[in-house]
Structure 1
Amino acid sequence: MSDLPAAVSPGNTSYGDENPSQEPQSEGRPQARKTAPTGFRIPRYYQILKHNIGGTGSLGAGDLFYQNFEGLNNRLARLNGREFINFCSYNYLDLCGDPRVATAAQAAIEKYGTSVSASRIVSGERPIHLELEAAIADFVGTEAAIVFVGGFSTNEDTIAHLMGEGDVIFHDEYIHKSAQLGAAMSGAKAVSFPHNDLDALEKSLQTHREQGKNALVVVEGVYSMDGDIPDLPKLIELKRRYQTLLMVDEAHSIGVLGKTGRGLAEHFDIDPDEVDIWMGTLSKSFASCGGYIAGNAELIEYLRYTAPGFVYSVGLAPPMAAAALKALQLTQEEPQRVSQLHSRVLLFHTLAREAGINIGEANEASAVLPVIIGQSDVTIALSRTLMDKGILALPIGYPAVSKSKSRIRFFISCSHTDDDIRSAVEVISNEISGSQ
């Protein structure tokens, strides 16, 4: 017997009106319905999801996820006392675990505590917040920046707040879920265009732009499933022609793209002011947690006083702010981290293509590399083989990607060695060749 209440038991998928309980029929009295059960009832789709991922071996990949790793999430991962070469970390610049970043976080705890215990608009603001925001704006190349407590909520809240009913949002079909939800919450008309197809975007702009008082185009700097990047010069040309705002989500491109890691604008050698809204996260290259919006001072001031996810949220925890600030400083003081990352990324690209491995349209500057296998069961089997050989890289399948494009994603760090990358490519090449 399950310990869960009947209403939340996985086996209970009924909804009140489908099989209503009935009082015994009494003569002269209308039939009465019992009170509907209260509490959350598990949606049916989850039963299907649970079945699909619950198996092991060729039947599913459920046991590959939520594994309880030990220690730092850097070049090496430790699980049950065993060490793996880790290609599942977004620790691109190897700053999470750097003792100087940890020391900065510890000093912030000593000075400010573990929480600012209030929203910043009332009593939660501390100097460390303003220092971090000024450093982000300087690094990105904008007038100002604002830091939110979560990367997901940064996208969701900013888009939902800036756009509204009577507006229109154009977004890449592969845009992150946080941006999709922000668009849905805004009340604006949302128009999706085929991935990285800017000709299709222009047709959508021609068709739908006049339907919105305000318009926003949202893309990513590096797409986390495919490792490709958008054509920023063309996007800027379109935004000017059709009078839209342009927003770039740099979660996987800040700290990675460009000679010094300043992102997509530096990669294309374009003035950052050409983009209206730069979004980024602090949890990847910058060894912390949270997200930011960078742009002109007027936009940032407006968000500071009106964005619900900022005004009504506690301020970023001091150790998180201090860690991000120190990581950002080290990125600039030690440019070899970015150049070494670029070297490792190029090596993986070169070896993979020489071996005939399908890495799709991944850009040679991107630290995200998909190894596209196709069939889900073959992809899962390859992931298990890699683990058997001491390499951690996990499978991604439907619905995150289409059913015919299951893949294993590799996230490259500046701390990976040439031998790490050669070993991974060799195992993949041998397994693919052996299965053909």
Structure 2
Amino acid sequence: MPFAATRPQLAHLTAVMDDLKARGTYFKLRVLDDEQGPVCHYDGREVINLASNNYLGLCNHPKLREAAIAATRKYGVGSGAVRTIAGTMRIHMELEEKIAAFKGVEACVVFQSGFSANAGTVSSILGKEDFILSDELNHASIIDGARLSKAKIKVFRHKDVAHAEELLKEVQNEPGRKLVITDGVFSMDGDIGPVGELADLCERYGAIMMVDDAHASGVLGRNGRGSVDHFHATSKVDVQVGTLSKAIGALGGYVCGSRDLIDFLYHRARPFLFSTSHPPSVAATCIAAFDLLESEPERIARLWDNTWYFKKQLTDAGFDVGGKTTPASETPITPIILGDGRRTMDFSRALFDQGVMATGIAFPTVSEGKARIRTIMTSEHTRPQIDRALDIIVSTAKTSGIL
């Protein structure tokens, strides 16, 4: 039976795709043929992988595999319900208790994704009489949550604490709560948010402080406790959001804070209320991952050694890795800024053909004129692999007229 063609009612979608193709920013999903590693196979081609969020190599760590298998054998493959009906298993509570203890807070709630953790939290704790002050480069999940809350949104210039204070002064006598929110690490540029300064600002003005630590979890702070710990601001941050999908190596997101905050989210956060809970294998995997953060700190040290080496080599070769036309990268996320979307996507495809998986990012994920190749270093890349990737990046850039 032949597939049905696009009906006229959806012709506008075809027009958008045709426009992306004309601009050179259309892409097809690359398919991973084996496990997520520093060298793996996409679309049948062996490549050095510089595109994964698997910062610490935990996606395929033997202890996490064992934990997942053991939990599946003991509890089955699914929970069978949402958390508030019949889907809260003891292992879900163990994971939340583990994260809360790791973060040094009273309580934690786990969501099905980092995106839903952000969007569900912002949209539930504020209403139309309230104000949100958000960094202009905050993650899309924060933006969506802010819109869903119907609160009044004010955007401060990127990492500009003085501008955030100006906005707080403007609304301090207005009725309603005030929430200041920032990424701990910004996902496209790899720079670190001014968490400590913003937390102090919130203290002075009585505002709620919230941090999205998705790309800081497992990367910054003691044993990967995140940017809040990195800035010694745990007692001043009311809402900490983290992810289980990046350095932790599995799937999901979480929110940490006071017991009252978490109990409120149990009752009001819509993604929590209306999504089936994690399979027990995922919860067990995450518990094992947090144990590894405590017992194998050398992984984080190795991640940073690789990161600084890779950045220096790219900079020495003449690439713009942030700091010229964009914020300077300070973490394992290292963008190669090219500006033009078509040129960026062509460069990404050329790198893949030569054996390097490095994703091109263009509008609307980033602003027009800010297209880049986003690279991410991990603890598991060896120096020969990094050097080989650098050779390919430099030689391909020269061939393409980028260098």
Offset at residue 334 of structure 1 (A): 0.8
Match of 1:321 among 283, 287, 302: 283
Alignment of 1:327-338 (within 5 A): 327-338=289-300
Instruction: Point out where structure 2 has 5 or more consecutive residues left out of the alignment.
Output: none
2:10 to 28, 42, 50: 42
Match of 1:353 in 2: 315
Secondary structure class of the residue paired with 1:298:
helix
Letter in 2 for 1:81: G
**1:407 offset after TM fit, Å?**
0.4
| Structure 1 unaligned spans of 5+ | 13-40
Residue 50 of structure 1 aligns with an amino acid whose one-letter code is M
> What is the CA–CA distance in structure 2 between the aligned matches of 1:148 and 1:259, rounded to whole Å?
24
SS at structure 2 position matched to 1:246: strand
- The answer as to whether partners of 1:346 and 1:364 remain within 8 angstroms in 2 is no
Deviation at 1:352, TM superposition (A): 1.9
CA distance change for structure 1 residues 52 and 411 in 2, over 3 Å: closer, same or farther? farther
Q: Distance in 2 between matches of 1:381 and 1:387?
A: 10
Pick aligned residue for 2:379 from 405, 414, 429: 414
Match of 2:154 in 1: 191
Map of 1:39-78 to 2, 5 A cutoff? 41-42=9-10, 44=12, 46-54=13-21, 60-63=24-27, 65-78=28-41
**Counterpart residue number, 1:34:** none
TM-score (norm 2): 0.93
- Percent sequence identity is 35
Q: Which of 73, 85, 89 does residue 122 from structure 1 map onto?
A: 85
User: Do the aligned partners of 1:394 and 1:409 also contact (CA within 8 Å) in 2?
Assistant: yes
- Asked whether 1:429 is paired with 2:394, we answer yes
- Mean Cα displacement is larger for which, 367-376 or 422-431? 422-431
Determine if the alignment matches structure 1 residue 111 to structure 2 residue 74. yes
Distance 1:277 1:292, change over 3 A: same
What does residue range 136-215 of structure 1 map to in structure 2 within 5 Å? Answer: 136-215=99-178
- Contact 1:382 1:428 (C-alpha < 8 Å) held by counterparts: no
In the alignment, is the contact (CA less than 8 A) between 1:141 and 1:273 conserved in 2? Answer: no
Match of 1:396 in 2: 361
Contact 1:168 1:209 survives alignment (8 Å): no
Q: Is the 8 A contact 1:168 1:212 kept in 2?
A: no
Between the aligned partners of 1:279 and 1:104, the Cα distance in structure 2 is 24
What amino acid sits opposite 1:132 in the alignment? Answer: L
Report the alpha carbon displacement of residue 370 of structure 1 after superposing the two structures with TM: 0.6
Change (3 A) 1:79 1:314: closer
Mapped to 1, the partners of 2:120 and 2:134 lie a distance apart of: 16
**Residue number among 183, 196, 207 corresponding to 1:244 in the alignment:** 207
With over 3 angstroms needed to count, the CA separation of the structure-2 counterparts of 1:173 and 1:421, relative to structure 1, is: same
Residue 263 of structure 1: which of 226, 233, 245 is its match? Answer: 226
1:342-372 CA deviation, whole Å, 9 max, x = no partner?
1111111221222221111466651111110
2: distance between equivalents of 1:158 and 1:399?
Answer: 25
Q: Is the 8 A contact 1:346 1:365 kept in 2?
A: no
Q: Deviations over 1:10-36 (max 9, x none)?
A: xx2xxxxxxxxxxxxxxxxxxxxxxxx
Residue 251 (structure 2) aligned to one of 282, 289, 305: 289
**Separation (CA, whole Å) in 2 of partners of 1:189 and 1:43:** 35
The answer to whether 1:370 aligns with 2:332 is no
Which residue of structure 2 aligns with residue 228 of structure 1?
191
What one-letter code is carried by the residue in structure 2 that aligns with 1:286? Answer: I
> Displacement of 1:256 after TM fit?
0.7
Q: 1:153 is matched by which residue type in structure 2?
A: S
Could you tell me how far apart the structure 1 residues matched to 2:126 and 2:281 are? 32
In structure 2, the residue matched to 1:22 is: none
Please give the alpha-carbon distance, in whole angstroms, between the structure 1 residues aligned to 2:171 and 2:394: 46
Q: Which amino acid aligns with 2:354?
A: K
- Give 1 or 2 for the bigger CA radius of gyration: 1
1:311 aligns with 2:273: yes
Pick the aligned partner of 1:97 from 34, 42, 60. 60
Aligned length: 397
Quick one: distance in 2 between partners of 1:297 and 1:411? 35
1:151/1:280 contact within 8 Å kept: yes
Deviation of 1:298 after TM superposition, in Å, equals 1.6
Q: In structure 1, the residue corresponding to 2:345 is in which secondary structure?
A: helix
Shift of 1:308: 2.5
Tell me, yes or no, if the aligned pair for 1:273 and 1:295 is still in contact at 8 Å: no
356-365 or 292-301: bigger deviation: 356-365
Equivalent in the alignment of 2:49: 86
CA distance in structure 2 between the aligned counterparts of 1:403 and 1:232, rounded to whole angstroms: 27
TM-score, length of structure 1 as denominator length:
0.86
Change (3 A) 1:369 1:165: same
User: What amino acid maps onto 1:332 in structure 2?
Assistant: E
Match of 2:347 among 382, 404, 408: 382
The CA distance in 1 between the partners of 2:338 and 2:101, in whole Å, is: 41
